[in-house]
Chains A and B, each alone.
Chain A
Amino acid sequence: MFRFPKLYKFKRLSLIVLLVAAFATTVVNAKVKGVGHYGYGKVATAEEIAGWDIDIRPDGRGLPPGSGSVEDGEILYEDQCASCHGSFGEGVGKYPVLAGGEGTLTEERPEKTVGSFWAHTSTLFDYIRRAMPFPQPASLSDEETYAITAYVLYLNDLVEDDFVLSQDTWDEVAKLPNNSNFVPDPRPDTQAVRCMKDCKKEVKIVSEPTITAEEVAAADDTIVKAAAGNENEKGASVYNGACAVCHNSGVAGAPKLDDKATWKARLALGEATLIKHAIEGFQGDAGMMPPKGGRMDLSDEDVAAAVKFMLAEAE
């Protein structure tokens, strides 16, 4: 079941003692104030709570109604996840690996994945629904989340290809293989002493950085530096902040910034149309361009500047 430091398991009594202690030490609370003392805010209704209460706990508390199959999950995963996490969960570039790595935790380079490291399936469902797919967080329906969660389990060889995940089958998969290998924090776990003299016989340098500061700077491939003649600074900054996440690598079918042929073909529509598509969103053959790249805080002018920057880069 749950494993957490004994320290934090305390009874009602110690809780009250702590409460009193906490208040006694603060200047602003001379004595414990009763429930509703200030009366600020509005009492939350069940409906209001339900809209935000999205967490799933290891025992399945919080799971929504619905279900999803490995079969449906495969299509959704290929469509919405594989561009970053790989078709087999192997991870593309620096994006996280989701599958494999079993038995590597004690090796020199451990590979920590859902199958090799994670403890609870609830964490997977909860996280996918709250934060993925990365460019459009919290966009998946409950049914889709069930299906994709089932598929990630399948990628980790934890269920068969006919598996359907729902509240009814939850207990079968609730605990992931590495579940029993998490332990409470034992720190302080070092016993250094304050020696002042002759603390060791000799000192040898055992390691130095292998890369230079210049190499580090040169390796900055996440920021597109404008090509000569492209003086659209605002566009560059909007692009790097809001559009690069898809258009640098071609994630989700986004035309890559340096794919000149694609941009030339698209430009046939005219710059105004491309700007309109970028602002309003656009479903094409390649994929789905979300309105303003999902960044609704950007003004239309910001997005237009970014499109102009992209087109100038592609020239």
Chain B
Amino acid sequence: MRQPKVEETDRLLTEIAKSGDQLPAAERRQFLKSGLSMLGGAAALAGAAKYAPPNVPPWTKSLGAPVIADPYGQPSPFEKDVVRRNVPWLTADRIASISFTPLADIKGIITPSGLVFERYHAGRPEIDPDEHHLMIHGMVDRPIILSMDELMRFPSTSMIRFLECPANGGMEWRGAQMTKLQFTHGMLSCCEWTGVLLSTILAEVGVQKGANWILAEGADGSLMSRSIPMEKALDDALVVFAQNGEALRREQGYPIRLINPGWEGNTCIKWLRRLEIGDSPYYQREETSKYTDLMPDGKAREFTFVQEANSVVTTPSPENPLKGKGKYWLEGLAWSGRGKVKAVDVSFDGGISWRPARLTGMIEPRALTRFGLEWDWDGSPALIQSRCIDETGYVQPTYTQLRAVRGSSSIYHKNAIHTWRLHADGSVTNVQVS
């Protein structure tokens, strides 16, 4: 937990009161009590600060910056460490590479656009939307080329959905390796996506008999491409032009990208330029050489689209260590590519016993879902885990269960229960347990 700064006291108080509102009466009283004791701690600490009461800080006795001092607003400079980061040794360079979302500081189900993880195969192109086109052709009655203005004239819809790289956590298959939450789980974000349902566009062009697959292709230097089954295209695939209410970010495919909710991030082709309707899959590099899951018997699973149920505790975590014993609000994120999160359990003893957590906030299908649990830490070491159960009844597996079926060479789709080791000094490290 961050030590609240004195000027944050008010905000914290409001927040605590607000989150307390969502709890049943008994728990709410308990929660407010602990929240206030936390504030008490903050105030005691703040006693050392220059502007704690009764002193008045200079920003109260002067004028602040005018409107449009920042025509496009930026986070407070005090938040400068909340940024995407990469792991240099993972890739040969930063052009075909990946960066990670700082999950330890994510306090909602919407990932701010500037913090959404990046994955490029040939860098981030700079595309003039007036020069960008979407071509839809192949087994259709009316092959068309759409300008961006034309695309945006179609009826549009919005949905909050997570986006996850199937390699998220893939570095942990053979054992705990990464030292921060940002790197163990940060190939994960969640946004509100606005666009045109692919089914609307397919109806407009007229899909012919025998058409079962769609090749989606980007306009970047890798002409990134993947085959999408017609079933998904007609279900909830979305041709997206806006993210969190504004134009899609360049990192996310400006001016347009595909979103296949709940599926591998790489199927959500960015800088989308072409959709070819065909009778069978196209066997592109990213669905044969990569993004296939090698099993211990030497067989490889292909078209492993769904991101199965997963979860992680974000406080405590290596980035959010505990500051002494006392009451804490443990919190984390859960998600499932198959639908809604139904429940999340938390263990403090490495999985021997479990307590149900509370789902806090909006529960959308195939979206990040927050969970939390009040916990009184007595200062002794603990092995903290979370376990997600989704609406299909699927229960997030342990490493032992996952490896028993898949070995440890499959790179992708590692959704095992994660363990944080809490040390007596409050620091937290990544471990794997039996």
The residues of A that contact B197 with a CB separation of less than 8 Å are: 22, 26, 28-29
- A299 to B349 CA separation, bound complex (whole angstroms): 57
- A119 to B301 CA separation, bound complex (whole angstroms): 12
Q: Are the C-beta atoms of A110 and B285 separated by less than 8 Å?
A: no
Confirm or deny: A270 has a beta carbon within 8 angstroms of a beta carbon on chain B.
no
- A48 to B213 CA separation, bound complex (whole angstroms): 22
Q: Are the C-beta atoms of A41 and B199 separated by less than 8 Å?
A: no
Confirm or deny: B93 has a beta carbon within 8 angstroms of a beta carbon on chain A.
yes
State the 10 A-B residue pairs at the shortest beta-carbon distance, nearest first.
A35-B206, A203-B350, A207-B175, A28-B155, A94-B92, A41-B144, A192-B395, A190-B397, A127-B285, A220-B88
Q: How far is the CB of B35 from chain A (nearest CB, A)?
A: 28
Interface of A is mostly: loop
Q: How far is the CB of B417 from chain A (nearest CB, A)?
A: 9
- A308 to B185 CA separation, bound complex (whole angstroms): 39
The B409-434 residues at the A interface (CB cut-off 8 A) are: 409, 413, 421, 429-434
Confirm or deny: B51 has a beta carbon within 8 angstroms of a beta carbon on chain A.
no
Q: How far is the CB of A150 from chain B (nearest CB, A)?
A: 18
| A117 in contact with B144 given A15-B230, A131-B221, A182-B292 (CB within 8 Å) | no
| A55 in contact with B176 given A105-B294, A106-B296 (CB within 8 Å) | no
Confirm or deny: A57 has a beta carbon within 8 angstroms of a beta carbon on chain B.
yes
Instruction: Closest A residue to B141 by CB, please name it.
Output: A35
The residues of A that contact B383 with a CB separation of less than 8 Å are: 203, 205
- A186 to B141 CA separation, bound complex (whole angstroms): 35
Give the interface segment out of B1-9, B71-79, B104-112, B274-282. B274-282
Query: Which A residues fall within an 8 A CB radius of B?
Result: 2-5, 7-10, 12, 15, 18-19, 21-23, 26-29, 32-38, 40-44, 48-49, 52-55, 57-58, 84, 93-95, 105-106, 108-110, 112, 114, 117-120, 122-123, 126-127, 130-131, 134, 137-138, 181-213, 216, 219-223, 240-241, 244-245, 248, 297
Q: Are the C-beta atoms of B299 and A95 separated by less than 8 Å?
A: no
Instruction: Closest B residue to A297 by CB, please name it.
Output: B126
Given contacts A137-B223, A184-B303, A205-B434, 12 further A-B contacts (CB under 8 A): A3-B302, A12-B210, A19-B203, A28-B157, A40-B154, A54-B223, A118-B289, A122-B283, A137-B122, A192-B396, A206-B431, A207-B432
Q: Are the C-beta atoms of B204 and A2 separated by less than 8 Å?
A: no
The residues of B that contact A207 with a CB separation of less than 8 Å are: 175-176, 431-432
Q: Are the C-beta atoms of B432 and A205 separated by less than 8 Å?
A: yes
Q: How far is the CB of B220 from chain A (nearest CB, A)?
A: 9
Interface-central residue, B180, B206, B282, by most chain A CB under 10 Å:
B282
Instruction: Closest A residue to B220 by CB, please name it.
Output: A137
Confirm or deny: B321 has a beta carbon within 8 angstroms of a beta carbon on chain A.
no
Among B137, B200, B210, B398, the residue within 8 A (CB) of A53 is: B137
Give the interface segment out of B17-25, B36-44, B240-248, B304-312. B304-312
Among B92, B308, B353, the residue within 8 A (CB) of A188 is: B308
- A300 to B409 CA separation, bound complex (whole angstroms): 46
The B154-205 residues at the A interface (CB cut-off 8 A) are: 154-157, 175-180, 197, 199-200, 203-205
Interface magnitude class on chain B: 35 or more
Query: Which B residues fall within an 8 A CB radius of A?
Result: 87-89, 91-96, 121-123, 125-126, 135-137, 141-147, 150-151, 153-157, 175-180, 197, 199-200, 203-207, 209-210, 212-213, 215, 217, 221-223, 225, 229-231, 234-236, 273-274, 276, 278, 280-285, 288-289, 292, 294, 296-306, 308, 318, 343, 345, 349-355, 383, 387, 389, 394-398, 401-402, 405-406, 409, 413, 421, 429-434
- A92 to B354 CA separation, bound complex (whole angstroms): 48
Q: Mind listing 27 A-B residue pairs with CB under 8 Å?
A: A19-B199, A21-B234, A27-B157, A36-B204, A43-B144, A44-B144, A57-B280, A123-B288, A126-B285, A134-B95, A134-B122, A182-B301, A183-B300, A183-B302, A190-B405, A193-B395, A203-B383, A203-B433, A204-B434, A205-B421, A207-B432, A209-B176, A211-B177, A216-B88, A219-B89, A222-B94, A241-B94
Q: Are the C-beta atoms of B156 and A28 separated by less than 8 Å?
A: yes
Instruction: Closest A residue to B290 by CB, please name it.
Output: A112
Q: How far is the CB of B174 from chain A (nearest CB, A)?
A: 8
Q: Are the C-beta atoms of A18 and B300 separated by less than 8 Å?
A: no
- A61 to B6 CA separation, bound complex (whole angstroms): 67
Q: How far is the CB of B289 from chain A (nearest CB, A)?
A: 6
Interface-central residue, B141, B234, B235, B405, by most chain A CB under 10 Å:
B234
- A285 to B274 CA separation, bound complex (whole angstroms): 39
Q: Are the C-beta atoms of A40 and B150 separated by less than 8 Å?
A: yes
Q: Are the C-beta atoms of B302 and A49 separated by less than 8 Å?
A: no
Q: Are the C-beta atoms of B303 and A245 separated by less than 8 Å?
A: no
Q: Are the C-beta atoms of B203 and A37 separated by less than 8 Å?
A: yes
Q: How far is the CB of A33 from chain B (nearest CB, A)?
A: 5
Q: Are the C-beta atoms of A38 and B154 separated by less than 8 Å?
A: yes
Among A23, A106, A108, A221, the residue within 8 A (CB) of B297 is: A106
- A193 to B292 CA separation, bound complex (whole angstroms): 27
| A208 in contact with B145 given A7-B231, A192-B397 (CB within 8 Å) | no
Instruction: Closest A residue to B200 by CB, please name it.
Output: A29
The residues of A that contact B89 with a CB separation of less than 8 Å are: 94, 216, 219
The residues of A that contact B398 with a CB separation of less than 8 Å are: 192
- A21 to B298 CA separation, bound complex (whole angstroms): 39
- A183 to B145 CA separation, bound complex (whole angstroms): 36
Q: How far is the CB of B140 from chain A (nearest CB, A)?
A: 8
- A197 to B349 CA separation, bound complex (whole angstroms): 11
Instruction: Closest A residue to B432 by CB, please name it.
Output: A207
Instruction: Closest B residue to A61 by CB, please name it.
Output: B278
Instruction: Closest A residue to B413 by CB, please name it.
Output: A187
- A130 to B218 CA separation, bound complex (whole angstroms): 11
- A243 to B300 CA separation, bound complex (whole angstroms): 37
Q: Are the C-beta atoms of B225 and A55 separated by less than 8 Å?
A: yes
Instruction: Closest A residue to B398 by CB, please name it.
Output: A192
The residues of B that contact A185 with a CB separation of less than 8 Å are: 301-306
- A201 to B215 CA separation, bound complex (whole angstroms): 50
The residues of A that contact B145 with a CB separation of less than 8 Å are: 41-44, 48
Q: Are the C-beta atoms of B179 and A28 separated by less than 8 Å?
A: no
The residues of B that contact A204 with a CB separation of less than 8 Å are: 433-434
- A130 to B274 CA separation, bound complex (whole angstroms): 14
The residues of A that contact B434 with a CB separation of less than 8 Å are: 200, 202-206
Q: How far is the CB of B193 from chain A (nearest CB, A)?
A: 14
The residues of B that contact A134 with a CB separation of less than 8 Å are: 95-96, 122
- A212 to B349 CA separation, bound complex (whole angstroms): 25
Q: How far is the CB of A14 from chain B (nearest CB, A)?
A: 9
Instruction: Closest A residue to B304 by CB, please name it.
Output: A185
Q: How far is the CB of A292 from chain B (nearest CB, A)?
A: 12
| A55 in contact with B143 given A12-B209, A38-B204, A213-B180 (CB within 8 Å) | no
